[in-house]
Chain A
């Protein structure tokens, strides 16, 4: 034990000396190079780079924070047997400045039963952009609320945005929504009966517990792109689908089946078509300056029974 402690002390001493000497060695190295290299970047360039790096770090740290919150929530859920604290007990989602090149917009509702919370897409100056367009058709039925998005790892963030999905007349309103990752989705209960909102959709799983009209609405931050199926543990017919998209590059499919997504960075891109009533489909396409095209045929799926949050079938006439 003592040996380990001594070793640790020695390690710290070496570490401290290294820290102290390191700048000197860097200065020396820089002097050797300076004669042969072009003029160094200006102080303004350094400042800008440092600022960008700091922003990136802050972004990553905030991502970690959100993940940590989710992790803590999962632990609390495990410990409390599935009863989640009210939203007020959770820290609010961090309000970050939007990533470079993106702006934010309000939360428009497009059509009945569908809501979209988005950040309007933009481009970094000098980045080559194209437009992806095409059609989405259905096999074995008709499509309801279909969307197409570009699965781009670096995209916008919904942090600071809130989407409201009401529980009214034992239904969710809207029943379909598209949000950017990081969006806070709040579920006010307008009914006089209790509802118990939950999802078992992978990393976006959550359990908001039971509350009713007049209680503080509970909410969840959806951080992971993908489809989130939302149910009520008491009323089996209550169902909403939320598509969490990685960035602002998405579009709703029009009534004629066409769609158009602008400002897509050129290059090989994965394009995904989704509808709550169909099996999602994806394509990899090359987006050039002239744009790209992706056509989809989605297979309509028959409704599938879901279980409650304990993985059990709903009993008869519990609602």
Chain B
């Protein structure tokens, strides 16, 4: 007598102590996910030198300022996620609000941005692995760092493929250690600065925190575009709300808590780092800035702690890069915007197996290729990354305003949270994007690299006050913007072959409180 299949919901769980469990994410876990996804130690290691390159001693101000657009866009994430907690996130939302073409490009933007960050992650992981073992000479070579970086991608892809997840307690412990080490670093550095126990040390000044004292808007824009990356991933604290225990309050408080932790740690560490040896030291050592500082601040063997923090942080960051990339691809495939294969779920591990492995493989190809042609893999990647993040975050902001347009003026809260905040965030990122286009089109502005790519493209003309000049382009621009543009022909190609996805119309939200009807009715329950 076979009974029909039931999906059991609301089965009593054993206890609340099991941590990260579907259906019951606590405040601590949600906060940890948000902070760990941004990977503070890795973000600082990768970007500190580049921010000081752009704005010198105003780096702490940029750390503060770059958070504003992220905060504003997070409001968009929060409200759009309410309507549709689909793992395609921006892809799904932009498709609903602004139509399938832009939606497709947004999805492409997410995956490409995830791809662009992989070389910097692998580079840092490879380099810091050698630094950890004291093989500083090897750490400066390209070959072995690349080899270890590739091994790193393979291991992390495999971990995502078989679906290993650290227990909640382990994650809290790792993140806790990371934060404590960074705070300890800042404290020791500042004590040494004030006791005069350092060369080239500077006493921190209030002016370091003032973004308005940055003279040039170009410096401001490129600083923001670089620093946006350090907060990237923070929005997951807001979007895991579906799993939260109390999904009305938990994500909000978690977002607030993780904000305080992140902004606090970034500003304090940046202040301490540049107080210690000045800003030029950070710029000169931009490829291994935390390791270089750690040696002088902590001394051996305590500096290994800082290196270890960067490594664990990079592993968390790799995971939070591979998972969303694979899920975005899965979501696009489910909605017929990408080949069906990407929606495959591994029968045993229940992960998006094909999408995960494909992304891992693509990352290796991209990383090795880049190592062969770029002189500064890390710098070029981080700068390029800013373009991608600004692109799809800005789209998310606009999508929120457009999608909820009928509800904007219903209350003051609506106006601020689903209107002004997302719009301001999106406009800010759009401005940083466009301004940086000009800055980075000149290869001399991209970190230590002065080699231009595509030198045959040469123009020089003037429209009104703006001079358009290029003799080749800087690598960050080609990677960042080039990959986004590559999406257009690919989209047209896909559209020509499989027009289904592109036949849908735009939607507008009926309510801001509840879920929207499915984007593509019925497709998610299909199993092939």
Is chain B found bound to chain A in the same assembly?
Answer: no
| B residues lining the A interface (CB < 8 Å) | none
